[in-house]
Amino acid sequence: MNLFNLFLFVGLPYIALVTFLVGTIQRYRSKGFKVSSLSSQFLEGRSLFWGSVPFHFGILVVFCGHLTAFLIPRGVLLWNGDPLRLIILQVTAFSFGLSMLIGLSGLLVRRFTNARVRMVTTRMDLLLELLLFTQTALGLWMAFNYRWGSSWFAADLSPYLWSLLSLSPDISAVSELPLAIQLHIVNAFLIFTLFPFTRLVHLLVAPLHYLMRPYQRVIWNWDRRAIRHPNTPWSPTRPKNT
Amino acid sequence: MVFHLDKCIGCHTCSVACKNIWTDRKGAEYMWWNNVETKPGTGYPQKWEDQDIYQGGWLKDASGNLRLRGAGKAKGLLNIFHNPHLPTVDDYYEPFTYRYLNLIEAPPGDDQPTARPVSLITGEPMDVKMGPNWDDDLSGTPDYARKDPNLEHLSPAEQEAMFQLERMAFFYLPRICNHCLNPACVASCPSGAIYKRGEDGIVLINQKVCRAWRMCVTACPYKKSYYNWHTGKSEKCILCFPRMEAGYAPACMHSCVGRIRYIGVLLYDADRIHAAASADTKDLVNAQLDVIVNPFDEEVIASAKANGVPDSTIKAAQNSPAYKFIKEWGMALPLHPEFRTLPMLWYVPPLLPVMASVRPGDQSQKAKLNDMAKTWTDDWLYDTSTTELWGTVEQARFPLKYLASLFSAGDTHAVADKLKKLMAVRIYRRFKTVGDVTEERMKAALRETGLTQESAEGIFYLTALAKFNDRFVIPPAHREQAMEMLEFTGDVKGNTGFGFRERPERGL
C-alpha cells in the first residue's frame, strides 16, 4: 500500500509535470496548427450555449480558487478566519462547481446525441470529458461531505504540493485523506498528464494579448525603404516593419 | 477591384473557378469565397445584409467613436465560450453529395436504384433544403426576393410595385472578400491571426495563429470569413495571392466570362482611413474616395517613392482601370458603405434592369403590334425607349432607393449620378454610331453628367472593348521578393518544401 501510495502521490505527479511541460512545448512547436480547441458551434449553436457557458465560467472560477489556495494558502486561511467569509467562499465555489457539472453534462449529452457534433468528436474528447466529469462530481461530493475544503486544502494539500515542487515529497498528510479526496487528486494528475494530447491546450493560448493590441494589424513582410537603401547591409534576417 | 454589374450575366464561372482551386476540401465544401447573388434576394448566407441578425461591421456610437457591433475586445472576450451571433451551417446550407455508386452497385430488387443525397458532414442521407445559389434567378418569390433586407427602406407600395409580374427585374451581384481598408475581421480577431498585407492590401488569416475563436465570422458584415468545421480554422478569400505575386489575375477575374471585373493598383493614404471610416453616414462614400490619392500627383509619387513603393507599382497605379472607374470618372460605388469597413470592391451599378419602365399603355398602340409580338393581356406597356434624357432614371423600374440601400447607404442622388453617366455614354455612342441622336442632345447629356467626349470614349473602351491587360493592371511582386512574401527561405533552409509540412487534420 505504501508503495502504491508512493506511486500515486509522488511518481504520478512528476510524470504529470514532465509530460505536461515536454508534451505541451513539443505540441506547440511541431503541431502549432492544432494548438486550439476544435469549436463545434458552427455545426450546432443553440444547445452549446447551455453547456459551454456554465462549464467555462464554472471551471474558470473553480480553477482560480484551487490556484489561489495553492499559491497563497496563508491568505486563504486568514480569509477563512471569519465564519461568514468562509461560508461565502464555500458557497460561491460550490455553486460554480455545480454550474460546471451542469455544463459538462449538457456538453456530454450534446456530443452523444447530435450527429454533426459526433463527426468532430474524437475518442480523446470523450475521455477528457469523462475525466472532467468525474473530477467535478468528486469535487462537489467532497465539498459537501468534507467541510471546509478551502481550509483543509490550504492547510494540508498546499504543503504537499509545495513539497512536490521543492523535490522533497512529503505524503504523510495525503495518504491519510479519505478515498474520495485521494481519487480527486489522482484524477487531477491524470488530467495534467493528458493535457498536451487533448483540446485543453487552448487554455494556454487564451487571447489575453488582444486587450493590449490596437484593433488593426498591417504586416509588411519587408521594410521596403530599408531594403532599397544602398547602405543597408546584407543580413540573413529581413528588415521588417514593426 | 471594380465590378461592372451591367455586364454580369450571372453564369457563376467565377464561383466555380474559385471553388475548384481553393475550397474543394473537407470542411470547406459549404464555402464560396466567391459567390454570385440574385438581387433582390436573400443572398448567402441567408439575409447576410441584416446586421440585426448577424451583428457584423462597425457602429459609430454617440460620441463619434467606432466600435465593432457584435465583437471587439470586451464583447469578444466575454462571448468567447459561445458566440451568440455566429451563423451556423444551416444559415449557409448543409453540403451534400449523392450516392451515385448506389446506381451501379445496388443489389437486384423490385425498385429502381436511386442516388440519395447524403450530407457531406455526417454522411447520413438527408433532405436537401438549401444549396449553393438556391435563390438564383428567383426574383419576386416570397421566400427569397421579398425577404431581401434592402427592401425595408422601401414603402409597401413601392415593394408591391417592384414585384408586379410585369415590372419584375433582377440583377446579379458577384461578391468576394472586400479586402477592406478598415477590416472588421482583423479588428475582431482575438488571436491576431488576421492581418492586412502592407504590400498589396490583401487581408489574410494566418492558419497557424488562428485558434478558432470565430469572432471574424461575426464581425465581417459581408460574411466573407468562413469557419472550417473540420480543421477548426477560419478561412477567407486570399485574392489568389500566389497568382497575383506571379503576375497572374485572381482566378475569379481570369475566368470571368462577361469580363465584368477590373483590377488595378490604388494608392491610398492610410493616415486618413480612421477619419474616413468615422465620417457621417451620408459622407462615407466621398470620405472613402478622399483616401484614394491621385497617382499622377508629383507629391504623391515622391512620397510613395520615399516609402519604398517600387516604380512598377506607381506606373500600374497610373494605368489602373480601378482608379479610372472609381476616382477619375466617378462611376463606381462600394457595397454597403454603411458597415464602415471601407470595402475596396467597387460596383458600377446596373443600368439595364433599371432603365426600362412600365407604364399603362393604351389599347390603340397594342393594335399596331402583330400577333407575334409579346404583349400582356392587360394594359401595361413595357417601354425600353429613351426619348427623355433622364426621366426614366428617376421613375426606373427598379426603385433607386433599392440600389441606394445597396451601394450608397441610402443616397439616391449618388446612384442616379452613376446611372446618368452610364446613360450619357450610351447616348454619346449612339450619336457616334447610329446617328439618330442630335449632337446637342449628346453634348447636353455629357455636360449634365460632367463627362467629356474623351472620358466617354474612355468609359466606352474600358466597358466594351478592353483587353485583358487593360482590365488587369497589377505588377507582379518583384521576383526577388515573391517567395519571401510567403516565407523566408533562410528559415527553411535544408527542409523539404514550403508551407505546411503536416496535413491539416485534427484528432487532438
CATH number of the domain to which A176 belongs: 1.20.950.20
Residue B324's pLDDT is what? 96
Q: Is residue B389 part of a domain?
A: yes
* Tally of domains in chain B: 1
Chain B hits for A33, CB-CB cut-off 8 Å, are: 207-208, 231, 233, 500, 502, 504
Distance from CA of B312 to the nearest CA of A (A): 14
Instruction: Render B18-38 in DSSP notation, one character per residue.
Output: HHHHHS-STT-TT--SSEEEE
Residue A242's pLDDT is what? 43
Q: Is residue B504 part of a domain?
A: no
Cα distance between residue A97 and residue A95, in whole Å: 5
Q: Which domain holds residue B404?
A: 348-467
Chain B hits for A119, CB-CB cut-off 8 Å, are: 121-123
Q: Is residue B220 part of a domain?
A: no
Burial of A110 (0-12, 13-18, 19+ CB in 10 A): buried
Q: Is residue A218 part of a domain?
A: no
* Tally of domains in chain A: 1
Q: Is residue B229 part of a domain?
A: no
- Of B73, B183, B211, which is closest to A211 when you measure between CB atoms? B73
CATH of the domain at B362: 1.10.3650.10
Q: Is residue A100 part of a domain?
A: yes
pLDDT per residue of chain B (508 residues) written in tens, 0 to 9: 999 999 999 999 999 999 999 999 899 999 999 999 998 889 999 999 999 999 999 999 888 899 999 899 999 999 999 999 999 999 999 999 999 999 999 999 999 999 999 999 999 999 998 888 888 888 767 778 888 888 888 888 778 777 776 667 788 999 999 999 999 999 999 999 999 988 889 999 988 889 999 999 999 999 999 999 999 999 999 999 888 888 899 999 999 999 999 999 999 999 999 999 999 999 999 999 999 999 999 999 999 988 878 888 999 999 999 999 999 999 999 999 999 999 999 999 988 655 555 556 555 655 555 554 444 455 555 555 555 556 566 666 678 888 999 999 989 999 989 988 998 998 899 899 988 888 998 999 999 999 999 999 999 999 999 999 999 999 877 655 655 555 565 655 555 544 555 566 676 6
Chain B hits for A41, CB-CB cut-off 8 Å, are: 82-83, 86, 88, 214
Q: Is residue A239 part of a domain?
A: no
Is B225 in contact with B236 (CB distance < 8 Å)?
A: yes
CB under 8 A, 24+ apart: contacts of B157-164 = B158/B399, B158/B401, B161/B399, B162/B40, B162/B398, B162/B399, B162/B402, B163/B139, B164/B358
Tell me the residues of chain B between 381 and 410 that have a Cβ less than 8 Å away from chain A.
Answer: none
Judged by CB atoms closer than 8 Å, whether chains meet at A53 and B197 is answered as: no
Q: Is residue B422 part of a domain?
A: yes
The ipTM is: 0.88
Q: How many CB pairs under 8 A join A and B?
A: 157
Q: Is residue A229 part of a domain?
A: no
Q: Which domain holds residue A23?
A: 2-207
Q: Is residue B316 part of a domain?
A: no
- The C-alpha cell 464555500 sits at A90
Residue A7's pLDDT is what? 92
Q: Is residue B489 part of a domain?
A: no
Q: Is residue B444 part of a domain?
A: yes
Residue B393's pLDDT is what? 66
Tell me the residues of chain B between 67 and 86 that have a Cβ less than 8 Å away from chain A.
Answer: 68, 73, 76-77, 80-84, 86
Task: Please tell me the pTM assigned to this model.
Answer: 0.88
